[in-house]
Structure 1
Amino acid sequence: MIKFKTILAAAVVSIVGVGAVQAAPVNGTGDLQGGVVFGSGNANGSFTGVNAFGVELGLRGKLRFDLNGDPQNQFNYDGDRTYTFDPALSNAPGNRAIWNFEFSLDVSQTPSGTFATSGWDFLIGIDTDPSAGVNLAFGGPFDPLLYSDNAGGPSVAQNSQNIGFAAYGAADPQAFGTYTISLFGTNGTEQLSTSIDIVVAPAPVPLPASALLLLGGVGAMGAFARRRRKTA
């Protein structure tokens, strides 16, 4: 059976030490090989992950609450490992993060093609404190195949989760900062891992056109003055 267990620092070090964390679009495109199977209306794409040894791991962040409080297929993905969300563009309940993290595990390309006999175990690590440093942990045992919105059969497990859920124990699920989510897999010989950062912060305010023109004029005046000094 697929297993999700608490990740402590020692476990993270032992796995990551032999399998470098991946930070690239899964399959080079960001699309899961079998598509998205957890619930209708969820689009494929923008997944960070790895596909090797017949196993595919995928993670992404998604806007869970827009200004109307509805979910959107909006990922704000930088093409590497980072997903950024502006609280000003969201209307989330106070006990929920404005974003969800979404994961996918697929063992369909292993010789057995099922979790029960693939020999792979999986761990998920969630840093619910967006302050400096990464402290991966999980609130308890977690088997995603038990979730009713999983439609991937015996070889695919996918789901969408919010750190505001009680099991995650986030002190403030709407705090500004960077949240790290990591996904690990091992069969005792091979190891795979992928990791993403969810950044919650106000979007940079662009300078008005008048300020840009002023800066351009000041730069031009400085260049002109330097040329005059050189000529003199």
Structure 2
Amino acid sequence: MKLSPHLPLAALAWATLTLPASAGVMHDQNVTPDVIFGSGNVNGSFTVDRNNGVELGMRGKLRHNASGAPENTFNSNGDGTFSFNAGVAPTQSSPTPEWSVEWSINTNFDGTSGWNLNDLTYELGVDSNPTSATTFSTFDPIFGANGSAGSRVQWDHAIGNNLTGNGDGTSIPNASNDEPGYADLIDQNNVAQQSWKAHWYGISGFDPTIDGTYDFYLAAFDDTTEVARTQIQIIVGAGGAVVPEPGTMLSFAIIGLIGCGPMSRRRR
């Protein structure tokens, strides 16, 4: 929505507060072709963007239930947010939370783009600020260095194509030191998926025991042009403390000035 310069100040302030969200993102979706990492992981509950033949999906997941086991429980609120309990995960040590973030990249989900994974670049944004404000760090989850393996580029993602079945993705273990094999996989395939725990993302000072709100986004680029983007929010406990955005504070200030109106000096 564009804001008209002719709107009254009160209307301008209200419009600023009610800007619509992106219309291209859909919630509680399946990803294409299926969930191809691990075994026993079901499809569904992904927040998905499908644009330019590219499908990007993200979701939260209950990684450690009361017994410490993974569970196909996603706690989606139907709007791109996922809610989980604060605390160290059962049977785990700090800073492991009960939840994880799962993502899926398909560069040719409907057969129209012709792209494989190595034809695009990517950006994964990770919010380290537990309040409602965001502090993002970013990296490329396909071409960026694998932090657990030094500077080499060889992730253990599950990789496949539009015919790969549930749990049947191909992964190269980090310890195998097979960068050429990984390069071949992303050159010949269009699907990559991964499931990561919060502290694996390198969130600085992450404390699973405090209430917080964490944002994550995933974007794909053809050269410098963004072709698709999805994002989710993990709400831990009651969520993070609300921090008013500068624009919101300005809007309230404008409304306050309007409410004051002209004042005349009282005569004695």
Q: Same fold by TM-score, threshold 0.5 exceeded?
A: yes
Give, in whole Å, the separation in 2 of the partners of 1:88 and 1:176: 9
Aligned residue in 1 for 2:255: none
Aligned residue number for residue 146 of structure 1? 154
Percent of aligned pairs sharing the same letter: 30
- 2:88 maps to 1:86: no
Residue 112 (1) aligns with residue 114 (2): yes
2:206 to 131, 153, 171: 171
Q: Superposition pairs for residues 9-48 of structure 1, below 5 Å?
A: 20=22, 23-25=25-27, 30-48=29-47
State the partner residue of 1:62. Answer: 61
**Residues 185 and 99 of structure 1: CA distance in aligned 2, closer, same or farther (over 3 Å):** same
Aligned-pair CA distance for 1:151: 3.4
Mark the CA change 1:23 to 1:150 in structure 2 (over 3 Å): closer, same or farther.
same
Output the amino acid matched with 1:195: Q
Q: What is the distance in 2 between the residues matched to 1:93 and 1:21?
A: 40
The CA deviation at 1:113 is 3.4
Aligned counterpart, 1:102: 102
Is 1:135 the counterpart of 2:143 in the alignment? no
Alpha-carbon spacing, 1:110–1:136, altered in 2? closer, same or farther (3 Å) = farther
Whole-Å separation in 2 of the counterparts to 1:21 and 1:124? 20
Is the Cα contact below 8 Å between 2:82 and 2:235 reproduced in 1?
Answer: yes
Tell me, yes or no, if the aligned pair for 1:98 and 1:174 is still in contact at 8 Å. no
The 1:125–1:174 alpha-carbon spacing in structure 2 relative to 1, beyond 3 Å, is farther
Listed as ranges, the matches of 1:174-213 within 5 Å are 174-187=209-222, 188-201=224-237
1:81 CA drift (Å) = 0.5
Whichever residue aligns with residue 127 of structure 1, its letter is D
CA distance in 1 between counterparts of 2:95 and 2:195 reads 17
Greater shift after overlay, 98-107 or 183-192?
A: 183-192
Distance, in Å, in 1 between the alignment partners of 2:43 and 2:234 is 18
Structure 1 95/88 Cα, relative in aligned 2: closer, same or farther at 3 Å? closer
Structure 1 stretch 42-51 or stretch 147-156: which is displaced more? 147-156
Q: Aligned-pair distance for 1:90?
A: 5.1
The alpha carbon displacement at 1:191 in A equals 3.1
Tell me, yes or no, if the aligned pair for 1:88 and 1:202 is still in contact at 8 Å: no
Alignment partner, residue 121 of structure 1: 121
Asked if residue 156 in structure 1 is aligned to residue 191 in structure 2, the reply is yes
Residues 172-197 of structure 1: CA deviation (Å, up to 9, x unaligned): 14421111011111213453211111
- Aligned residues: CA RMSD: 2.7
Q: Hey, what's the Cα distance between the residues in 2 that align with 1:149 and 1:182? A: 18
1:43-64 deviation per Cα after TM superposition (whole angstroms, max 9, x unaligned): 1000001111110000000011
Number of residue pairs matched by the alignment: 179
Q: Distance in 2 between matches of 1:54 and 1:141?
A: 20
Moved more, 128-137 or 65-74: 128-137
Displacement after TM superposition at 1:80 (Å): 1.4
- Retained in 2: the 8 A contact 1:39–1:149? no
